[in-house]
Amino acid sequence: MRVSQLPFLIISTLALLQKASALRSSSTTASNACAALASSYGAQQATKTPTFKPSAVYACLQEVPINNTLAAQQVEWLETYLQFHTTTVYLKNPPPTYQPLAVDLLEGMKEIKTKALAGQYTSEYDFELALYNLIVRGRDGHLVFIPWLVGNFEIRRNVELVSISSDGVQAPKVYFYSDVQANISGNGTIIPSAVSKIDEDDVTNRLIALGYDQRYQDDDAQFNMLFSSPIAIPGLSFPVLGAFTQGLFAHANDTTSYIFENGSRKTIANSAFANLDFGAVTSGQYLFDNFILNTPSTSTNTTASGNSPSGLVTLPGYPQPVAGALSPGSSVSGYFLQDANDTAVLTMQTFSPGSYSAQLGFQKAIREFLRACQEQHKKRLIIDIRQNVGGLTNLVYDAFGQLFPNQKPYSATRLRAFDGANLVGEVLSNLPPAAETQILQKLAQQGGNIGTMPYFGPSYSQTNGTSFPSWAAFYGPTDVYGDNFTHVGAYQLSNSTFTAPLTISGATTNSNSPPQPFTSDNIILLIDGTCQSACAYFANLLMNQASVNTVAIGGRPNTNPMAVIGGTQGGEVLSIGTIQLFIGITQKLAALSNDTRLIAKVNQSLSPFVEPPPIQPVSLNSVTFNVRDNIAKGDESQTPLQFTRTPQAGCRTFYMAGDVLNVTYTWDRVAKGMASGGKSLCINGTSTSNRSSSRNSSSPNGT
C-alpha cells in the first residue's frame, strides 16, 4: 500500500485542484470500470505501489452512485458545524482589504442541496467535488472539508517544477527540477531550458490559474506552493513535492505536455493512486456501500495543527545544527553560518512538535540556541519560517518571549457566539476541581492543555489584563459586521495552567530570562508567504511589535512587493472530532450535575453536534473550522486579521538555482545581501522598512 501524504495536504493545503468543468472522460470506458481498476490493483500490488491512468480512476468514480437524500443530509450536517466558523459573513461580503473573491458558503450549500434533491448530480463523486470546491473557495487553511472519494484518490504529474532567477533579481523562469538538479550536480550535458507552455497555455498564466484553487489568500504564496520546495518538512520525503506535482484527485488528464524555450517538447504521463485496499472492489456500488457508508470516521481529537515525528533527526539537506539546538521531531533547529560567520539561523518548520512533552523540547532547543549565539557573539539572526503552517500558540508566545524577554506579547481574540457555543462555554467554565484535573490529564494525552479549549472562559482576560468575572461577561454577545461574537479577550499567558507544559518565557510571567540576544535591526524574518495560523501570529508579533526586518523569496514573476503572510491568520482551528470531544465533556459534566434542567438543555441543544455524518468524509479530523479570530491592536472594527491588509516584506528576492538543493546557500545570500542594505539581493536594489513606528524593542534593553 502506498503511504498517503493526505494529512500534510490538509494542514499545509497542498491540494492541487482544477475546476470541476475541467474534468473530462477519455477513451477509457468500461461497463465496470471499478472492477477493472481492482484487477489492475491486484496485478501490481505484489511488486510495486499500484498506479493507474487518471482517466481509469475517473471512469470508476463516475460509477459510484449517489443517494440524493443522503447527499442533502450531508450538506445539512456540514451546515450545523459551520456555526462554529467565525468568518462566514466576512467571506460573503469581504472588506476592500481582502484580495480573494467573495463566497457565500450558506447560499452555495443551499444550491448544492437543491441540485442533489433534484437529481442533478450523476455520481457521488460529482456531488462531493462540488461541495469540496465550495469550501476551497473560502481560501482558508482552517476551513477544510475532505470528502471520502476526493480524499482517497490522488493524482500526480510526474514532473517537479522550480521557479528560478539567474541572479535573484531578474524575473524567474520555470524549469524541470531534475534538469536544474543535474546541472548543479555537475552534469554538463544537461543545459536546462525554461518551460514556456504547459498543455499549450502560457506557463505563467497556467500556473497562476492552478494556484487560485488553493487555500491561500495571497497569489504569490499560492504560486510558491506549486513548486518543489527546498524546505524540509518533518515527516515527509525530501524534497517536498509542490502542488503542481501532487494533489487530491480533481482532474482526469492522462498526460501533461510541455513546450520549452529551446523549441523542444515533452509529453509525460500522469499517475493516479488509491489510498485504500482496492483489491476487493467489484463496482462503484461496492465502493459506496462498503467504504463511503460504512467507513468509521477516525478521530485523534487533537487541537494541534498537525503532527511531527518524535526523536532528534537532522533535517535532510540541512547542515549540522548547533549542539542542543534541535528539538524532538526537528520542528525547530539552529545553525551558525560559515561564510557570514556573524550570523545565526533559527529555522521553525512548525509550531506543532507532535506531543505534549515535545513542547518542552521545542522551548529548550530555542533556549540552548540563543545561549550559544551569545556565547559565540553572533550579531545577526535569520528566522526562517518558510513552509510553516502553524501549530500551538503557547509555543509562539514562548518563542517570542525568548527573543524579546522585555516585551509582553499582545493578543486579542474572540469566538463566534451562538447558542451551542454558549452552552458549552457555560458548562466548561464552571468545572468542579475533580473534573478539571481529569480533563487536564486527557488533554495532555492529546498534546494540548485546558487553554486550548476555546470555550473555557477562565483562559481569557480582557485586553487590559483584568479578568472577566464570568463566562457570561466574556460571551456577550456583541453584534459585529452583521453577526454575533463574544467580546474580545486576551490569552491568560501568565497562568501556566493554560499554557502547560510550558511556563511562558519573558515578561509575560516575569521569569528570570536571559537578556535580549539580538536587536530588532539585526533580525531578519525570512518568508515565502505560506506562513499561516500560529505562524502568522508569530510573524505579526515580530513585525508589528518587535519591528524586525523581513525578506520574502519567490512568488510570481513580477517586481511587485510581496505580502509577508499569505495564509489564514485565524486564531484556532478545530476539527469536528475535537468539537465532539468538547461536547462529550460537556454532556458528561451536565449528567454529573444532577441538574435536570441543564441535562435536558444540553441534550436538546448539543445532540445535533454528535450525530455521525450521513456520508463519511475521509475522517472527522479532515473537516475543520476556524473557531477563533485574531484582532489587531487598536482595530475598533474588530476585523479578523486575515481580512486586513497584510504588511509587505521590506525586501523581495527570487529563488536562484543554488537555493534549490542547499538551504545554506539561501541563508548566506540573505545574510550578505541584508548586511549591505539589500544590494544585489532585493529586486528593487535596497531593503525598505516594513516596520511600525513603535521601536520599543530595537535594543536588547527594550528601549
Residue-wise pLDDT for 215-259, tens only, equals: 899 999 999 999 998 887 665 555 678 889 988 876 678 999 999
Cell numbers describing residue 543: 513585525
Higher pLDDT, 698 or 347: 347
**Could you tell me the pLDDT band of residue 128, with boundaries at 50, 70 and 90?**
very high
Q: Out of 370-379, 388-397, 472-481, which region has the weakest mean confidence (pLDDT)?
A: 388-397
Q: How far apart are CA 415 and CA 201, in angstroms?
A: 44
**Could you tell me the pLDDT band of residue 37, with boundaries at 50, 70 and 90?**
very high
Q: Using the predicted structure, report yes or no on whether residue 121 has a pLDDT greater than 70.
A: yes
Backbone angles phi, psi at 470, to 5 degrees: -165, 170
Cβ of 416: how many Cβ atoms within 10 Å? Answer: 23
Q: Are 83 and 54 in contact (CB under 8 A)?
A: no
The verdict on pTM exceeding 0.75 is yes
Give the pLDDT of residue 382: 98
**Could you tell me the pLDDT band of residue 661, with boundaries at 50, 70 and 90?**
confident
**Could you tell me the pLDDT band of residue 589, with boundaries at 50, 70 and 90?**
confident
**Could you tell me the pLDDT band of residue 442, with boundaries at 50, 70 and 90?**
low
Backbone angles phi, psi at 343, to 5 degrees: -115, 135
Closest CA to 207 of 255, 175, 165: 175
The mean pLDDT of 111-135, rounded to a whole number, is 97
Sheet of strand 343-348: strand arrangement: 332-336, 343-348, 380-384, 523-527, 549-553, 651-653
Q: How far apart are CA 397 and CA 614, in angstroms?
A: 40
Q: Using the predicted structure, report yes or no on whether residue 305 has a pLDDT greater than 60.
A: no
Q: Using the predicted structure, report yes or no on whether residue 386 has a pLDDT greater than 60.
A: yes
Q: How far apart are CA 143 and CA 336, in angstroms?
A: 38
pLDDT digits (tens, 9 = 90+) for 82-103: 999 999 999 999 999 998 999 9
Cβ of 249: how many Cβ atoms within 10 Å? Answer: 26
Give the pLDDT of residue 234: 63
What residue segments make up the domains of the chain, in order of their start? 328-409+505-569+645-675, 413-503+570-641
Give the pLDDT of residue 355: 80
The mean pLDDT of 492-519, rounded to a whole number, is 83
Q: Out of 21-30, 443-452, 582-591, which region has the weakest mean confidence (pLDDT)?
A: 21-30
Q: Using the predicted structure, report yes or no on whether residue 458 has a pLDDT greater than 80.
A: yes
The mean pLDDT of 689-700, rounded to a whole number, is 40
Give the pLDDT of residue 185: 81
Pairing of strands 265-274, 255-260: antiparallel
What CATH code would you report for 328-409+505-569+645-675? 3.90.226.10
Q: How far apart are CA 21 and CA 124, in angstroms?
A: 16
Q: Using the predicted structure, report yes or no on whether residue 590 has a pLDDT greater than 60.
A: yes
The mean pLDDT of 632-657, rounded to a whole number, is 94
Share of the chain above pLDDT 90, in %: 67
Cell numbers describing residue 435: 473534573
**Could you tell me the pLDDT band of residue 22, with boundaries at 50, 70 and 90?**
very low
**Could you tell me the pLDDT band of residue 688, with boundaries at 50, 70 and 90?**
confident
Higher pLDDT, 316 or 72: 72
**Could you tell me the pLDDT band of residue 443, with boundaries at 50, 70 and 90?**
low
Q: Out of 108-112, 168-172, 276-280, 536-540, which region has the weakest mean confidence (pLDDT)?
A: 276-280
**Could you tell me the pLDDT band of residue 433, with boundaries at 50, 70 and 90?**
low
**Could you tell me the pLDDT band of residue 437, with boundaries at 50, 70 and 90?**
low
Share of the chain above pLDDT 70, in %: 86
Give the pLDDT of residue 148: 94
502: Cα separation from own chain's centroid? 23
Residue 663, CA distances (Å) to 287, 519, 573, 624 in order? 44, 24, 30, 33
Higher pLDDT, 586 or 15: 586
Pairing of strands 380-384, 343-348: parallel
Q: Are 657 and 178 in contact (CB under 8 A)?
A: no
**How does the average pLDDT of the chain come out, rounded?**
86
